[in-house]
Structure 1
Amino acid sequence: MQVREKTFAMSLRALWERAVALPWLSLPGITIIVVLVCLPFALVEVPPLIDVPGHMGAAAIEAARPGNPLLKYFSWKWVFTLNIGGDVLAKLIGAQFGILAAGWWSTVLATGLFAGGCLATIRVLNPKGGHGAPWALMFVFSFPLLTGFLNYILATGLSLMAFAAAVWLEDKPKQRAALLIAAQPVAMLCHAIGGLLLGLLVGANAVGRELDRLPAGWWHPSEWRRLRDEQDWRAIAKRLFILCWPLVATVVTIILWKYLSPEPARSMNRWRWDQKAWYFILTLRDQSLLLDGATTIACFALILFGWLLGARWKWQLGLPGLLVFLLFMAIPSDINGSAFVDVRLLPVACMLALGLQDWSRVPLERARMIALAGVLLLGTRLVVTAASFADYADDYRKQLSALHHVEPGSRVLAFVEHSCLSESWRNTRRDHLASLASLYRQAWVNDNWAVPGLHMVIPRFRPGRNFTADPSEFVWSPACQGGRMRSVDTALKYAPIERVDYVWLIDTGMPRRPDSRLQLVWQEGRSLLFAVRPLGFPNWRTKDL
């Protein structure tokens, strides 16, 4: 009877502690904040994130039915790979609402899960001390999302949500285990690294809690001998096992992936240490060097020196972010043909470090000032983001007007000038805009991701050895790395122009060397569309290049 009364009292206490969470960590508060974070997408039709047009072009290929010209140029093969979350979501939405709506809703849902998962995690672990929540949300619109890594963002959002739910259900072990066993394969199938975060966070939370229970100074060798006699290590091991045994689902998923997925075309892993260092500066790169630089400095200062203002360190709160950061440092930058694998983790580590700083014992006025400063900075960034989305939407409309001059089912060889940091802090986000030719004109374009074992698109039309798929569309301006990178003139020199119908140059400017095979049919600023002149075709009415 006493045990039941004690359990009931503990449950009431837990419920009370959850009930008095900070206002912005209440369910209505989280809902309102997630909606506000997603509002910039209401200004656009195509989300202006670098990879999103590529995802939409791939979805158009998957959805192609008999009679669609795309089937002459591509095929689609579903494979068991840990990188298909966005493709599955786009198929489910696109079947009812079309590819354009699928691309938009997939992006919004992934963003909402990312932001909501961040707040839910802070809610369950740091309900009274989560004054750093607005600072954590700075890293929603960070490098992974602005690049359009939808599979990763979706998997990470699911991992954060499932982790928060698992912590909430700790007094219901059967329900918690069922949740984790179901959530891990789903998150891993969305994206390997994003899904792996769920197991990492669950393990870090369990180990951190046990470390907090140990007496002060437990890490000294002299203390270990005393702890060996006083602590019941079997009880600690039992508690860790109860919390962590469902993580076997991640191991099973990886084993199944190893046996069922095709061999990767590129198995070489590569560490880029300069890239890891640069992304401490670049992870919040967006529109303004001044604003982004100031935000980065302020966030890292709060992480490193928050303790001087009174923020408390607890292993249970600090270990999740610390382990994600160590994973960022340890894993390769390129894995099996997938690039930027490591730097996607840095924003999540910062998000956890800021959101899980415990400000509950700081004087109330100081804690509120920390939160208010974060809200003002976050609000400023969201306004700038919304304004930039409107600008990108206008630019996308202008660039895509070229497709009005493209015959359906054509072959379009595209080259886009990849923006260089040395020239502009702001990214044009046109890198994969050419993929929308497959959506709007059912056209072949050389912009698709087609790494065997990683992507499902299989090119059937191959006009040239190095002009079939991404990154064959990229060219650089003469100012990039002293002119040593491939220019549009170099690309056109070796391009299989005679095997395509159009050449689409996006933000490259007019090539310096003329080519009698190309006929200018459209121009918008530095972007141009050329029809390829068939040999001996007379009476072209517009000027030649």
Structure 2
Amino acid sequence: MQVPQGRSRFGRFHLDWRAGGLPWLSIPGLILGTLLICMPFVLVEVPPLVDVPGHMGAAAIEAASPASPLGKYLGWKWVFTLNIGGDVLMKVLGAQFGILAAGWWSTVLATALFAGGALATIRMANPRGGHGAPWAMMFVFSFPLLTGFLNYILGTGLSLTMFAAAIWLEDRPRLRAAVLVVAQPLAMLCHAIGGLLLAILIASNALGREMDRLPAGWWRRSQWRTVLSTHDWKAALRRLVVLCWPLLATVVTIILWKLLSPAPVRSLNTWRWDQKGEFLWLTLRDQSFWLDAVTTVATFALLLVGPFLGGRWNWQRGLPGLAVAVLYVIIPSDINGSAFVDVRLLPPAMMLLLGLQDWSGAPARRAKAIALAGLALLGLRTVVTAASFADYADDFRQQLSALEHIQPGSRVLTFVEHSCIEESWRNTRRDHLASLASVYRQAWVNDNWAIPGLHMVVPRFRPARNFVADPSEFVWSRGCQGGRLRSVDSALRYAPIERVDYVWLIDTGLPRNPDPRLRLVWQEGRSLLFAVRPLGFPTWRPRDN
């Protein structure tokens, strides 16, 4: 008796290990690919992603005991909000392994889920034509991950993984529905937009399948009458209901969030159309302008030229990526105080469009060449990423040596030079490094995210109105936007120096007009740490570099 593909002779679903003969989509290939993507993290203790030190600082505040000095300065209030995946994961891991290990493991697990979920989706939806999988993997280390949007990466990774599981379980509708009903609230709690992707992917995939069932040329006006009279619309509607009714769990989650979550302080939604256009170019910005530029041009060229070379989409494979791309265009850029909401969607859109581009109908040698070229470029980018992680690890160690000169429980006013593209393509990723003072020294810093209704950190110590939380720590060099933004000198001019114990300047260089209350206790290149003393004559003298 011939066994139908995908099932054993006893009717129980089993996995096809080879996935249509493409080795990178076999189960060993999927596992190996995910591990290789995560390999750069082996080189670091603190993941060098912009926001990760901030997440670790927040975890230290949440875990602080009543006797901790942090409790005098900062509190934590758990609220029901769709942005807590990383916080919950760090709490669970931190209770067992400590904050540093929790931050590292949370980042690695989120990255693995993001990469593995994308590969699993390609495996399930495009097993024989997924030659674009290596090209899709280039968007793992893209703007959202390199920025350290852990909640979003975790939510998106869970959505991609559960989307793949939903395709796998289509022959077992009850189990599939149960998995989706549980997975959707979990993904939404990780992050609203990342979790919403699961419902969008399920719905667009189901709708695309029905569009593929329509007669050829159904979009022509001359065919509409024939299609309306001959197509079994009732059967199509039944199939859509069976596949999509579990998505009500997303609707229920959103309703509960609106009813139970505190109203956000910032409710203004803003569309930044220039930002949407710029990030078509900037989403792969990493270490090398030319490597990132070549990669960006190559990936867009593959999408545009691929259909002429044999890489095509049907509606079922193309609509999920197209739906995410449309959402990227229409969604606001800032929502309730959360910035860069829209541009986070570009990487998963590109991953879906590239990975689900079907090359099975192209000549075999051409499809193989496309896959090998993608693997070579992906390998090069992974090596560059790993080398950069080693460099960032050395830099972080040098910068954090300042903490050896800070007394536990101190108040540390921090200013960090925010890197801008006008001066350097490579990001220093020091923006939230000061938050690690809360981890290592139980110290207060003005670096925390503390928007009510969005974050759970509650400031108790407020040295001055505009020096309580992020983004009060940012200053800019003269080369950024022509020097119109706040410099370290203008920041120090209004800073509440008399109410803190230390002033930590990260990569700002020496202020032009040093305050006489500041005594230099540490310097590493352009970074300096000052202890605050009563008003007197300046006695510090910076050492030459």
TM-score by length of 2: 0.97
**In 2, are the aligned partners of 1:516 and 1:544 still within 8 Å (CA)?**
no
For 2:393, give the aligned amino acid: A
User: In the TM superposition, what are the counterparts of 1:243-282 in structure 2 within 5 Å?
Assistant: 243-282=243-282
Q: Distance in 1 between matches of 2:389 and 2:542?
A: 35
Match of 1:462 in 2: 462
Between the aligned partners of 1:544 and 1:365, the Cα distance in structure 2 is 63
Counterpart in 2 of 1:355? 355
Corresponding residue number in structure 1 for 2:214: 214
Contact 1:489 1:512 survives alignment (8 Å): yes
Contact 2:6 2:16 in 1 (8 A): no
Deviation of 1:224 (Å): 1.5
Secondary structure in 1 matching 2:422:
coil
Is 2:164 aligned against 1:184?
no
- Maintained 8 Å contact 2:19/2:128: yes
Query: How far apart are residue 313 of structure 1 and its match?
Result: 2.0
- How far, CA to CA, are the matches of 2:514 and 2:248 in structure 1? 62
Question: Is the contact between residue 269 and residue 332 of structure 2 (CA under 8 Å) also seen in structure 1?
Answer: yes
User: Could you tell me how far apart the structure 2 residues matched to 1:18 and 1:39 are?
Assistant: 24
Equivalent residue number for residue 108 of structure 1: 108
Residue 149 of structure 1 is matched in structure 2 by 149
| Partner residue in 1 for 2:131 | 131
Classify the secondary structure of the residue corresponding to 2:203: helix
Match of 1:240 in 2: 240
SS across alignment from 1:40: helix
Contact in 2 for aligned 1:18/1:124 (Cα 8 Å) = no
Deviation at 1:227, TM superposition (A): 1.1
Task: Write the mapping of 1:8-407 to structure 2, written as runs, cut at 5 A.
Answer: 11=7, 19-21=18-20, 22-407=22-407
Q: One-letter code of the match for 2:479?
A: A
Output the CA distance in 2 between the equivalents of 1:8 and 1:37.
Answer: 34
- Whether the 8 Å contact between 2:17 and 2:27 is mirrored in structure 1 is no
Query: Equivalents in 2 of 1:98, 1:17: separation in Å?
Result: 40
Report the residue type matching 1:81 in the other structure.
T
Change (3 A) 1:276 1:397: same
Cα deviation code 1:417-450 (max 9, x no counterpart): 0011010000000000000000000000000000
- Secondary structure (helix, strand or coil) at the match of 1:250 reads helix
Give the total of aligned pairs: 539
List per-residue Cα deviations over 1:494-525 (Å, max 9, x = no partner): 00000000000000000001210110110000
Tell me the alpha carbon deviations over residues 331-359 of structure 1, each in whole angstroms, 9 at most, x when there is no partner: 00000000000000001100000000000
**Cα deviation code 1:32-75 (max 9, x no counterpart):** 11110000000000000000000000000000012100000000
Sort the Cα spacing of 1:422 and 1:171 in 2 relative to 1 into closer, same or farther, 3 A.
same
Name the CA distance, whole Å, in 1 between partners of 2:49 and 2:542: 34
Measure, in 1, the Cα distance between the counterparts of 2:356 and 2:17.
15
CA distance in 2, matches of 1:479, 1:139: 30
- 2:351 corresponds to which letter in structure 1? M
What is the alpha-carbon distance in structure 2 between the residues aligned to residue 391 and residue 19 of structure 1? 38
* Residues 389 and 16 (structure 1), Cα distance of their counterparts in 2 relative to 1, 3 Å cut: closer
1:494 alignment partner in structure 2: 494
User: Cα offset for 1:362?
Assistant: 1.0
In structure 1, distance between residues paired with 2:232 and 2:56: 56
Pair 1:528 & 2:524 matched: no
2:46–2:104 CA contact under 8 A, matched in 1: yes
1:131-183 Cα deviation digits (max 9, x unpaired) = 00000000000000000000000000000000000000000000000000000
Measured in 1, the distance between the counterparts of 2:14 and 2:433 equals 50
Query: Distance in 1 between the 2:208 and 2:14 partners?
Result: 22
Contact 1:448 1:470 survives alignment (8 Å): yes
CA shift at 1:184, angstroms? 0.1
Distance in 1 of aligned mates of 2:247 and 2:394:
46
Instruction: Write out per-residue CA displacement over residues 88-112 of structure 1, whole angstroms, 9 at most, x where no aligned residue.
Output: 0000000000000000000000000
Tell me how far apart the structure 1 counterparts of residues 431 and 339 of structure 2 sit (CA, whole Å). Answer: 15
2:5, 2:412 → 1: CA distance?
69
SS in 1 for 2:88: helix
Distance between the aligned counterparts of 2:15 and 2:401, measured in 1?
58
Q: Greater CA deviation, 61-70 or 7-16?
A: 7-16
SS of the counterpart of 2:358?
coil
**What's the counterpart of residue 438 of structure 2?**
438
* Alignment correspondent of 1:425: 425
**C-alpha distance in structure 2 between counterparts of 1:489 and 1:292, whole Å:** 34
Question: Do the aligned residues in 2 keep the contact of 1:18 with 1:127 (CA within 8 Å)?
Answer: no
Letter paired with 1:351: M
Q: In the alignment, what sits opposite 2:477?
A: 477
The structural deviation recorded for 1:11 is: 4.7
Instruction: After TM superposition, list the pairs within 5 Å mapping 1:447-458 onto structure 2.
Output: 447-458=447-458
Q: 1:19 to 1:171 in 2, by over 3 A?
A: farther
**Shift of residue 16, structure 1, vs aligned partner:** 9.1
Give 1:361 shift. 1.3
1:103 match: secondary structure: helix
C-alpha distance in 2 between matches for 1:171 and 1:213: 18
Query: Separation in 2 of the partners of 1:420 and 1:239?
Result: 51
TM-score, structure 1 normalization = 0.97
CA distance in 1, matches of 2:445, 2:162: 39
Contact residue 152 and residue 190 of structure 1 kept, 8 A: yes
SS at match of 2:531: strand
Q: Is the 8 A contact 1:518 1:544 kept in 2?
A: no
Output the CA distance in 1 between the equivalents of 2:411 and 2:273: 39
Mark the runs of 5 or more structure 2 residues left unpaired by the alignment: none
User: In angstroms, what is the RMSD of aligned CA positions?
Assistant: 1.7
- Residue identity opposite 1:89 in structure 2: L
Q: Indicate how the Cα distance of structure 1 residues 17 and 405 shifts in structure 2: closer, same or farther if over 3 A, else same.
A: closer
1:497-516 aligned at under 5 Å gives the runs: 497-516=497-516
Percent identity among equivalent residues? 73
- Give the secondary structure class of the aligned counterpart of 1:34: helix
Contact 1:331 1:342 in 2 (8 A): yes
Measured in 2, the distance between the counterparts of 1:381 and 1:387 equals 10
Gaps of at least 5 residues in structure 1 are none
User: Secondary structure at 1:344's aligned position in 2?
Assistant: helix
